[in-house]
């Protein structure tokens, strides 16, 4: 029985590339490190927004929107719908792409949709301690899990019920945080 090979363990610039990558010294395999795609939604219910109190790290106990990493084999909309179900047991209908946030500091691109409940009802899923509806003046701003939650809530309020609008991006000066 032969010893397992170490795999990509050298940092070098592959031929024809411009960035340093992890490379296997034995076979030349290049391990590319690419951003993760986060998909989520601002779900509107009777003039309020659905939020989830996180049951997992990071930011356990703080409030967020139903969102998470996109899975292989699903579209961004399917991922946003799945995340709403996993976190809030909410069956949602996607209305429009609200925002695309780039957060290079943590290697994420976030696609946030505007949505509504497709069928009545919601409850805490396994990744949430609780879920609740908040009016604008009730949102627990100081207890939000991530800056991008605040961005999305503000962008949702900004576009309101408009049928057509350009998706928003990072607020000015917020390119590297999230």
Q: What are phi and psi of 109, to 5 degrees?
A: -120, 125
pLDDT at 78: 98
Show the 3-state SS of 93-106: EEEEEEEEEEEHHH
DSSP count for the chain of H helices, then E strands:
2, 10
Task: Please give the pLDDT value at position 6.
Answer: 67
pTM of the predicted model, to two decimals? 0.89
pLDDT in tens, 109-137: 999 999 999 999 999 999 999 999 999 99
Residue 11 pLDDT class (50, 70, 90 cuts): very high
Q: What is the pLDDT of residue 28?
A: 87
Q: What is the mean pLDDT of residues 41-55?
A: 98
């Amino acid at each position: 029985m032969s010893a397992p090979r170490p795999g990509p363990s050298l940092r070098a610039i592959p031929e024809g590339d411009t960035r340093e990558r992890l490379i296997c010294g034995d076979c030349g395999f290049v391990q590319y490190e690419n951003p993760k795609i986060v998909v989520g939604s601002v779900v509107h219910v009777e003039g309020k927004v659905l939020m989830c109190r996180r049951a997992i790290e990071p930011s356990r106990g703080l409030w967020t929107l139903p969102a998470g990493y996109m899975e292989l084999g699903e579209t961004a909309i399917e991922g946003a719908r799945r995340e709403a179900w996993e976190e809030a047991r909410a069956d949602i209908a996607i209305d429009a792409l609200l925002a695309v946030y780039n957060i290079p500091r943590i290697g994420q691109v976030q696609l946030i949709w505007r949505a509504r409940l497709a069928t009545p009802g919601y409850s805490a899923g396994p990744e949430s301690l609780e879920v609740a509806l908040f009016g604008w003046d009730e949102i627990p701003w100081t207890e939000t899990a991530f800056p991008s939650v605040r961005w999305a809530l503000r962008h949702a309020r900004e576009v309101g019920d408009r049928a057509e609008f350009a998706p928003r991006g990072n607020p000015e000066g917020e390119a590297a945080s999230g």
